[in-house]
């Protein structure tokens, strides 16, 4: 066998190995597990690698679009801020409900619309702006979104009535919708190759939604306590202005189109789905408005029924329109993917339970416990810390633990957390039920968002990645809007009953029980998801694939592989 033709390439393909005295050429590859080989069967790195090379081999190379690691980290932070923008504002609205309602004379329904208006407009425009980002440019839209958010959030501080405040909050929803699709598109294009580095980047990005909500309550709770609720929005203006300036340097130029003149790119607007955008805005808006007005105006009132019916009808027409339009906002073919069609609704249901429970927990602390905004922030601080820790865990386990198991565990965390909240009474200790509930509910959000973000970004081609991000986030935003309408309807309806008037906790218990229903539905849907691990580099996908990859890229690996095969034949 030593003279076979299969051995000839072995001698010519080993320039890296020097022949030792008294050593036959065939003996060189025998030490496939030695320090001289590139990889062992178990995938160990070369012994001679430097520390930097080992890090690169373990986590993957830095994307070429980043000049250095500091810019890479800076952009990931900016992307996290982008996805946190809407939820951050929702957290602010949550913690200032009592002072702003007293100052502007807002009803319970109007208070709910502070965050609902932002989520509604953001959700309605997310797909449209995702399409525009892919057509016209991701970086310009990202920076414009941050700058406009900084400008309009300042106007909220000078609101003189509920109407003014809600209108500006709606505009802020449009501003926040401008930053999420470009951020996702750039992330997806920059980290096109699966790796642990990509896992860490997306785990940080996925933390934006739940952590933005929590940090919004904490930061603005402190500012409101020290000054006023108007000062909280002024602080937001300053923070987002700093983010805008920083984004000019931190955000790389990663586009889905070749560098063509602006006029040619503007012609692409003819492909824009204007009809789909209008149907989404009015359909979701009317349906949510009907849910919010129902408890106060009466479900049998003509305008409430009309809003609900027309809203649902417009959403149905939107679905039908997307099936026939040549360049739809939401391509129907993506729903043919089994996992995608279960991941999106399960994430939406879980997040509905998360959003509703967090809102009513903060309101409970203010109304029933009579805590100041600062004390509310202190009581929610463990949730923020736990969210950061859970997010680190998520980034470390995506590539090693079956992601279906992670999704199911996250849904179970949602369910257990809402069950604990439903048993809270006025005299219940914070540490007994609320504390563990806050830890678990943010675990569900962090774990599920990490898995879903990673999968969604791999289900569409690169030139549609901003749209993929838009589809994921539009469902979240619209679900948040809907759940605020639903939970407010439950809260207001129970509040008006004799039982609700006699027991001040009953209306809160019913809202938490509503969240239990959403969490249970989320748990059921996750059982139908079929995922493996995500984020493994190509060399880690399997032993066979790893072997083929090494053989094709490194001559020494070919030598080792061939010699092992020949040795087995000799033994036979």
Q: pLDDT-derived band of residue 255, with 50, 70 and 90 as boundaries?
A: low
Q: Give the separation between CA 369 and CA 294, rounded to whole angstroms.
A: 28
pLDDT for residue 288: 74
Among 193-197, 281-285, 312-316, 403-407, the minimum mean pLDDT is found in 193-197
Q: In degrees, to the nearest 5, what angle opens at C-alpha 314 toward C-alphas 298 and 492?
A: 25
Each residue's pLDDT tens digit, 107-146: 777 777 787 788 778 877 777 777 777 777 788 889 999 9
273 φ/ψ angles, rounded to the nearest 5 degrees = -85, 80
Please give the model's pTM, rounded to 2 decimal places: 0.71
With b for 16 or more beta-carbon neighbours within 10 A and e for fewer, the 144-156 pattern comes to bbbbbbbbbbbbb
Range of 136's domain? Answer: 69-272+327-526
Give yes or no for residue 455 having a pLDDT over 50: yes
Residue 117, in any domain of the structure: yes
- pLDDT (0 to 100) of residue 19: 44
User: In this predicted structure, what is the pLDDT of residue 195?
Assistant: 75
Distance CA 170, CA 121 (A): 6
* Residue-level pLDDT at 26: 44
- Asked if the structure places residue 531 within a domain, the reply is no
Q: Cα separation of 126 and 108, whole Å? A: 27
Among 102-106, 331-335, 489-493, the least confident range: 331-335
Domain contains 344: yes
Task: Note whether residue 164 is domain-resident.
Answer: yes
Report the C-alpha dihedral over residues 383, 387, 390, 396, rounded to 10 degrees: -170
Question: Is 222 a residue whose pLDDT tops 80?
Answer: yes
Q: Indicate the SS3 state at residue 241.
A: helix
For residue 147, being part of any structural domain is answered with yes
H helix intervals, 398-527: 403-422, 435-456, 465-495, 498-502, 506-526
pLDDT at 465: 56
Q: What's the pLDDT tens digit per position in 265-276? A: 666 667 777 888
CATH code of the domain in which 74 resides: 1.20.1250.20
- In the predicted model, what is the mean pLDDT of residues 166-194? 84
Q: Where are the alpha helices (H) located in 207-301, listed in sequence order?
A: 208-226, 229-250, 262-267, 274-297
DSSP secondary structure, 36-89, as one string: TSS--TT-PPPTT--HHHHHHHHH-PPPTT-SSHHHHHHHHHHHHHHHHHHHHH
Is the pLDDT at 310 greater than 80? The verdict is yes
The pLDDT assigned to 539 comes to 55
Q: In the predicted model, is pLDDT for residue 37 greater than 60?
A: no
Classify residue 111: in a domain, yes or no. yes
Do the Cβ atoms of 416 and 443 come closer than 8 Å?
Answer: no
Beta-carbon neighbour count of residue 384 at 10 Å?
22
Q: Give how many domains the chain has, as a whole number.
A: 1
Contacts of 570 (CB under 8 A, 6+ apart): 1
- Whether 28 maps to a domain, the answer reads no
Residue with more model confidence, 47 or 530: 530
Q: Which of 260-269, 372-381, 441-450, 483-492 has the lowest mean pLDDT?
A: 260-269
Average pLDDT, the chain: 78
Lowest mean pLDDT among 122-126, 415-419, 495-499, 515-519: 122-126
Residue 223 lies in a domain: yes
Which is more confidently placed, 391 or 509?
509
């Amino acid at each position: 066998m030593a003279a076979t033709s299969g051995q000839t390439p072995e001698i010519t393909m080993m320039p890296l190995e020097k022949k030792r005295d008294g050593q036959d050429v065939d003996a060189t590859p025998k030490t496939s597990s030695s320090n001289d080989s590139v990889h062992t069967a178990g995938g160990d790195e070369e012994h001679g690698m430097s520390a930097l090379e080992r890090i690169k081999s373990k986590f993957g190379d830095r994307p070429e679009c980043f000049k250095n690691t500091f810019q890479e980290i800076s952009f990931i932070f900016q992307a996290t801020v982008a996805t946190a923008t809407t939820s951050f504002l929702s957290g602010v609205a949550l913690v200032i409900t009592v002072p702003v309602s007293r100052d502007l004379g807002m009803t319970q329904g109007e208070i709910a619309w502070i965050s609902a208006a932002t989520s509604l407009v953001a959700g309605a425009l997310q797909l449209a702006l995702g399409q525009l980002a892919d057509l016209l440019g991701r970086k310009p839209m990202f920076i414009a979104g941050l700058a406009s958010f900084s400008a309009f959030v300042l106007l909220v501080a000078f609101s003189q009535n509920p109407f003014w405040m809600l209108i500006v909050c709606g505009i802020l929803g449009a501003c926040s919708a401008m930053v999420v699709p470009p951020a996702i598109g750039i992330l997806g294009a920059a980290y096109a190759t699966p790796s642990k580095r990509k896992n860490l980047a997306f785990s940080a990005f996925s933390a934006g939604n739940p952590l933005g909500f929590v940090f919004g309550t904490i930061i603005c709770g402190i500012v409101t306590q020290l000054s006023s609720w108007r000062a909280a929005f002024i602080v937001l203006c300053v923070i987002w202005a700093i983010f805008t300036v920083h984004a000019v340097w931190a955000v790389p130029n990663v586009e889905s189109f070749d560098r063509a003149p602006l006029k040619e790119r503007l012609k692409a607007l003819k492909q824009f789905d204007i009809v789909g955008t209008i149907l989404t805005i009015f359909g979701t808006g009317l349906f949510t408005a009907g849910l919010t007005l129902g408890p106060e105006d009466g479900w049998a009132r003509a305008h409430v029924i009309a809003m609900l019916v027309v809203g649902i009808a417009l959403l149905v027409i939107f679905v039908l329109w997307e099936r026939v339009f040549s360049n739809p906002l939401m391509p129907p073919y993506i729903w043919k993917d089994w996992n995608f069609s279960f991941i999106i609704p399960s994430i939406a249901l879980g997040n509905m339970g998360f959003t509703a429970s967090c809102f009513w927990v903060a309101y409970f602390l203010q109304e029933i416990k009579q805590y100041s905004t600062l004390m509310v922030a202190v009581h929610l601080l463990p949730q923020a810390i736990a969210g950061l820790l859970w997010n680190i865990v998520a980034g470390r386990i995506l590539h090693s633990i079956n992601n279906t198991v992670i999704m199911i565990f996250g849904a179970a965390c949602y369910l257990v957390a809402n069950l604990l909240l439903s048993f809270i009474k006025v005299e219940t200790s914070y540490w007994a039920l609320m504390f563990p509930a806050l830890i678990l509910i943010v675990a569900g959000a962090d774990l599920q968002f990490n898995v879903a973000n990673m999968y969604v970004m791999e289900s569409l081609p690169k030139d549609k990645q901003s749209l993929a991000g838009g589809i994921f986030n539009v469902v979240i935003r619209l679900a948040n809007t809907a759940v605020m309408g639903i939970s407010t309807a439950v809260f207001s309806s129970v509040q008006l009953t004799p039982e609700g008037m006699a027991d001040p906790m009953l209306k809160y218990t019913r809202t938490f029980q509503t969240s239990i229903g959403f969490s249970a539905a989320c748990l059921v849907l996750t059982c139908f998801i079929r995922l493996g691990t995500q984020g493994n580099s190509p060399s880690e996908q399997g032993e066979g694939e790893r072997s083929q990859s090494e053989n094709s890229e490194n001559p020494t690996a070919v030598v080792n592989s061939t010699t092992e095969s020949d040795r087995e034949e000799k033994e036979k």
